[in-house]
Structure 1
Amino acid sequence: MVRKKNSNTLAENRKARHDYFVEETIEAGISLVGTEVKSIRIGKCNLKESYADIYNGEMFIKGMHISHYAQGNITNVDPIRERKLLLHKEQIKRFDLLVTREGFTLIPLALYLKNGKVKAAIGLCRGKKNYDKRDSMLEKAHNRDIERQMKESNR
């Protein structure tokens, strides 16, 4: 699968696709303050160790690091605070059932802009074993070799 980098993508969690099988993705809004949005827009966001959790009927993103905005003052907030994800109750209930019963994990895959608002792509993921990771790396290398051969034969 070849993915082009979207110009609206602000941060991406590439490690998640290496460590997990992504079964389904969903778009969610994030409750942010102004200086956090400014920091995200200039690329000061890290999704590497983040995950989403559901409690009290609400979904929160945890472990996402948004650096302090340089021109911000007292309006800067804690860089790794919990941030609420904005979803419909039915969507949250469905994901809660899948996470608790079937052992899935909710992982933020990317942050991007849509109509001027910051959105998060949340993936419903199942963990990979080490041999699965090796298989996917071999498959990626094989596909790269095939592409190289096709390119050389077209010349």
Structure 2
Amino acid sequence: MAKGSGNVIAQNKKAGFDYFIEETMEAGIVLQGTEIKSARNGKVQLKDAFVRIRGGEAWISNMHISPYEQGNIFNHDPTRSRKLLLHKKQILELESHSKEQGVTIVPLKMYLKDGFAKVLIGVGKGKKNYDKREDLKRKDAKREIDRAMKERSR
């Protein structure tokens, strides 16, 4: 199975727009109690999430997992920091990347693989406004070409 495939729960579409993704890596994630039930229902948002290396461990912050509806007192804090499960070598590699100027580690998507929740994280370099405009122009041009081809085939 290819990296990042499986039962996709959430996707960070904004990351591809805001960053040049240079490298991707798959990581497990530590979830508490009812979080996995909410995740299976697709109640996950990665929009403002980022990864930080603290104390030799990788932590994902600002990832929102909504409280489980049928949960009671055992529900969790929706935006708490969650630990990512990576090998020491991978953490050291991410830490060296994150120390570079303008580099951020962002989650790209969350998915289920063999019953376990996984997060695809990417090392991204921030785009400037003119890069973003260029991407929008390219996207619009592709849309116009596809529209013209569709009308031509009729």
TM-score, with length taken from structure 1: 0.90
Alignment of 1:45-60 (within 5 A): 45-60=44-59
RMSD: 1.5
Q: Identity over aligned residues, as a percent?
A: 53
Alignment of 1:132-143 (within 5 A): 132-143=131-142
| Cα displacement (A) at 1:33 | 1.5
Counterpart in the other structure of 1:149: 148
4+ runs of 1 displaced by more than 6 Å?
Answer: none
- Structure 2 distance, partners of 1:116, 1:7, is 10
Please identify, of 140-149 and 92-101, the stretch whose mean Cα deviation from structure 2 is larger.
Answer: 140-149
Alignment of 1:77-92 (within 5 A): 77-92=76-91
Return the letter of the residue paired with 1:93: L
What is the SS of the residue equivalent to 1:91? helix
Return the letter of the residue paired with 2:104: T
- Structure 2 distance, partners of 1:107, 1:73, is 31
Return the letter of the residue paired with 1:90: K
Q: Would you say the 8 A contact 2:26–2:120 is kept in 1?
A: yes
Query: How far does the alpha carbon of each residue in 1:17-40 deviate from its partner, in whole angstroms, 9 at most, with x for none?
Result: 111111111110000013000011
Return the letter of the residue paired with 1:35: T
Q: Would you say the 8 A contact 2:6–2:113 is kept in 1?
A: no
Distance 1:87 1:7, change over 3 A: closer
TM-score, with length taken from structure 2: 0.91
Counterpart in the other structure of 2:115: 116
Alignment of 1:8-23 (within 5 A): 8-23=7-22
Consecutive unaligned residues of structure 2, counting only runs of 5 or more, are none
